[in-house]
Amino acid sequence: MEYLFERINCYGCGSNASKFFLIGQDDYTGKTGNFKYVQCDNCHLVYQNPRISIDQIKYFYGEEYIAHRKTKDWGILTPIYNWTMSKHDREKHKIVKQYTTLNNKIQVLDVGCAVGTFLTLLRKQYKCQVSGVDFADLANYPGMEEINFYNGLFYDQDFTGKKFDLITMWHFLEHDYDPIRTLKLSESLLTKEGRLIIEVPRLDSLTFKLFRNRWPGIQAPQHTILFDESHIRAFVEKANLQIIDHLAYGAFPAYFYIYTGFAFTRLKGKGLNIRKEMLPYFAGQLLCAPFLLFENYLNLSMQTIICRKKG
């Protein structure tokens, strides 16, 4: 397949001066292509340039895209897989409840909601009023009928008259084609005491230093930006948001980046056969369990930033 690329200026400062940073490949599915990431000469943000046109990027969010959870049958490991995915939602819940009072009155918006399992958890446990946005049309997935679902780009939706007490972006912003616009829209949609919670891969992390161009956080070409701590802070501040807290971890398991980083290094862009990797993945997780007890203190792979409106 021949891709359509577009050259862009830096998302952070608008400069068009940059230097080569690395070449990423689609290590997850093995789709062909070399995708260049550069570092801005002015503000030092790392981003994909040129990037694939937004119409073509849909090709990389197909049936095999695990975050959308379209595959349900994993053979004898299906119960373990389901437990792991639901644990991911429980970890999101654990972070959220530190900063937001959850009850049946609050309005929650999950941007990049996929099949809405996190929203379903909040609706069932607290009877929150839940809405979700996703680039892919996942409205027919079981349970989505209970969610106020918006399909398409976040900033193209009609939110007239809407305000939210909690907006979450779990591994969404690094995919965004206009992140400052997205953050400014989020700020405008928050209630006075509302919270915005953003989780992204962390470029200034131990796993990036270990794996470099095979780091799972690159996820080329879907990831348009590679955020370190200083840049995610700068982006939210440009959107008139006040930072409440910055966590050196996220709801997403750091072990996933450790395992897949070694697998990508071995496979060299051939793609990851998730069915074949499932058993060794869980076996390795058991072996690493004592070490992973300390993952929240080791800056392994993720970061989460909690924000509110200024003033």
Residue 7, judged by CB atoms within 10 A of its CB (0-12, 13-18, 19+), counts as exposed
Q: Tell me: the pLDDT tens digits for 198-208?
A: 999 999 999 99
- What's the token pair of residue 277? 């990797």
Q: Look up residue 256 and give its DSSP letter.
A: H
Is residue 145 pLDDT above 90, yes or no?
Answer: yes
Q: Tell me: the pLDDT tens digits for 276-291?
A: 888 899 899 889 888 8
In whole angstroms, give the CA distance from residue 71 to residue 68: 8
Any idea what the Cα angle at residue 22 is, between residues 265 and 16, rounded to 5°? 160
Is residue 221 pLDDT above 90, yes or no?
Answer: yes
Q: Where are the domains of the chain?
A: 5-309
Is residue 83 pLDDT above 80, yes or no?
Answer: no
Give the pLDDT of residue 68: 46
Q: What is the mean pLDDT of the chain?
A: 92
Q: Is the peptide bond before 201 cis (omega within 30 degrees of 0)?
A: no
Class of domain 5-309: alpha beta
Instruction: Tell me if 90 sits within 8 A of 121, measured CB to CB.
Output: yes
Instruction: Tell me if 25 sits within 8 A of 42, measured CB to CB.
Output: no
Other Cβ atoms less than 10 A from the Cβ of 105: the count is: 11
Give the pLDDT of residue 2: 86
E strand map for 162-290: 164-170, 190-201, 225-226, 241-247
Share of the chain above pLDDT 70, in %: 93
Chain position carrying tokens 């995919």 = 175
Cβ-proximal residues to 91 (8 Å cutoff; 6+ apart), any chain:
250, 251, 252, 253
